[in-house]
Structure 1
Amino acid sequence: MAKIVALVGDYWHDGEAAQAGLEAAVKRLPNKDEIELQYITYEEVSTVLDNKPELFINARMNKLNPKDEHVVTWLSEVLDQKIENYVNEGGSVLAWHAGLAGYSSESSYTQMLRGSFDYHPPGLQEVTYKGNDTTFTISDELYFVHCDKANTEIYLRSTGAYGDTIAGWKHSYGKGKVCCLTPAHTKEGLLNENVSSLLAEKIKWLVSHE
C-alpha cells in the first residue's frame, strides 16, 4: 500500500476543489486500489512525515493570513529541515500550484524544489499548456516562476496573453524525488481531463521505485 499525504487549501485556494482534483487523478492510476490518500493540516506535517509516507503533496501556500498586516507563515525552520531530510532519505514531494507560493528563497524547501512561484497577472485567462505529449488550454492563473533550469527536467510550459513561462519540472533529490506542477486554480481546471491525466502521471512517477 502506497501512502500519500496531502496538504491542500488556504486563504486563496479552495481545499475541496483541490481534493476533488487530486482524487480524480488518483482514480486514473493503474494501482489506485493500492493507494491510501490522507488529507492533513499543516500542524500535522511533522508527525506524519515521521511515518515515512511514499509521497507528500503540498498544495498550500506558506502564508496563513496573507491579507493581514502581520503575516504568519506555517513553515518553521525546524519543519523546513525535516521536509528536506524526508526527501533526502527517500521520500517524494509534489509542490502543486499554491505549494510553490510564499516560501522563502533561502528555505531548504525552495532550494530542494529548485524553483518557486514569482507572480501571476490579475485574474484568470486562457492558458495553453504544452508538454512532451500534450497540449491543452484552460482558464487559469498564469503562474510565472523562478526555476533552476540547468538542474531539473522541464516537462511542461505555459503560454498566455502576458507571455510564456515554465509550468512543470521534476528531478531526483538525494534518495527521493521532487516534482513541481503549476495548474490549476479553479475546480473546473482541477477536474480538466488533461490536468488530471498529467497529475496522475506525475504521482505515478513519484511513488514508483524506479
Structure 2
Amino acid sequence: MVKIAALLGDFYHSAPEAKAGLEAAVAKLPNKENIQIKYVSHEQLSQALDEKPDLFINAKMDQLNPKEDPAHTWLTEELDQKLVNYAEEGGSILAWHAGLAGYPVESGYIKMLHGYFDYHPPGLQEVTYLLKVGEKTGNDSFTIMDEQYFVVCDEWNTEVDLWSTGVHGDSLAGWKHLFGKGKVCCYTPAHTREGMLNKYVRMLLTQRFQWLLEKSFNG
C-alpha cells in the first residue's frame, strides 16, 4: 500500500476544495487502488511523519490567523526539522499552492523547497501556465482564473518545469529536485475548486505524483 499524508486548508484556502483536486489527480494514477490518503491536521503531523508515509502533501500556509496581530503559526522548530529529516531519509514532499506561503525564509522547510511564495495580485486573474517541453497534457499552455503566485526560487538548484504569465507579469510556477534520499516538488496552481479540477491542472498534478511516488510504485 502506498501511503499519502495530506495537510490541507487554511484561513484563505478551502480544505474540501483542495481535497477534491487532490483526489481527482490521484484517481488518474495507474496504481490508484493501492493508494491510501490520510488527511491530517497540523497537530497530527508529527505523528503522521513518524508513520513514514511515501508522500507528504502540504497545502496549508503557516499563519493560522493571518488577519490578527500577532498571527500564530503552526510550523514549530521541531516540526521544521522533522520535515527536513523526513525528506533526507527518503520521503517525498509536495508543497502545493498555499504550502509555499507565509513560512520563514530561514526555515529548513523553505531552504529544502528552494523557493517560496512572495506575493500575488489581489483577486483572481487570467493566468496562463506554460509547460516545459515534453510535459504530456496535449497542450504546451493553458489558461485559468487563478491567484498568480509570484515566487522567489533558487532556480539554479532545482528543475523548473512550469511558468506563469498574466497581466501583472511572469513568474515560475513549478519545480522539482532531489533532496537527500527523497524528492521535493513545488506546484503553485490553483486557488479555486474549478481551477484545481481543470483537466490540465489535474494532469500536471498527477504527473508530479507519479514522479514523487516512483520509488514506491516500483517497490
The residue identity in structure 2 corresponding to 1:19 is K
Q: Which string of whole-angstrom CA distances, capped at 9 and with x for unpartnered residues, describes residues 126-172 of structure 1? A: 00001123310000001000000100000000000000000000000
Equivalent residue of 1:44, what SS? helix
Offset of 1:108 from its aligned partner?
A: 0.2
Match of 2:14 in 1: 14
1:190 aligns with 2:213: no
The residue identity in structure 1 corresponding to 2:175 is W
Please point out which of 159, 162, 185 is paired with 1:153: 159
Offset of 1:67 from its aligned partner?
A: 0.2
1:57 aligns with 2:63: no
Equivalent residue of 1:75, what SS? coil
Q: Which string of whole-angstrom CA distances, capped at 9 and with x for unpartnered residues, describes residues 86-127 of structure 1? A: 000000100000000000000000000000000000100000
Percent identical: 60
Equivalent residue of 2:82, what SS? helix
Equivalent residue of 1:139, what SS? strand
Give aligned pairs, total. Answer: 210
Equivalent residue of 1:70, what SS? coil
TM-score under structure 2 length normalisation? 0.95
Q: Which string of whole-angstrom CA distances, capped at 9 and with x for unpartnered residues, describes residues 173-195 of structure 1? A: 00000000000000100100000
| Superposition pairs of residues 161-172 of structure 1, within 5 angstroms | 161-172=167-178
Match of 2:187 in 1: 181
Offset of 1:38 from its aligned partner?
A: 1.0
Please point out which of 184, 187, 206 is paired with 2:212: 206
- Please give the alpha-carbon distance, in whole angstroms, between the structure 2 residues aligned to 1:38 and 1:200: 18
Unmatched runs of 5 consecutive residues or more in structure 2? none
- Please give the alpha-carbon distance, in whole angstroms, between the structure 2 residues aligned to 1:156 and 1:181: 8
Match of 1:46 in 2: 46
**Aligned-residue CA RMSD (Å):** 0.7
Unmatched runs of 5 consecutive residues or more in structure 1? none
| Superposition pairs of residues 29-40 of structure 1, within 5 angstroms | 29-40=29-40
Match of 2:82 in 1: 82
- Please give the alpha-carbon distance, in whole angstroms, between the structure 2 residues aligned to 1:69 and 1:114: 28
Match of 1:72 in 2: 72
The residue identity in structure 1 corresponding to 2:205 is L
- Please give the alpha-carbon distance, in whole angstroms, between the structure 1 residues aligned to 2:214 and 2:34: 12
TM-score under structure 1 length normalisation? 0.99
Equivalent residue of 2:102, what SS? coil
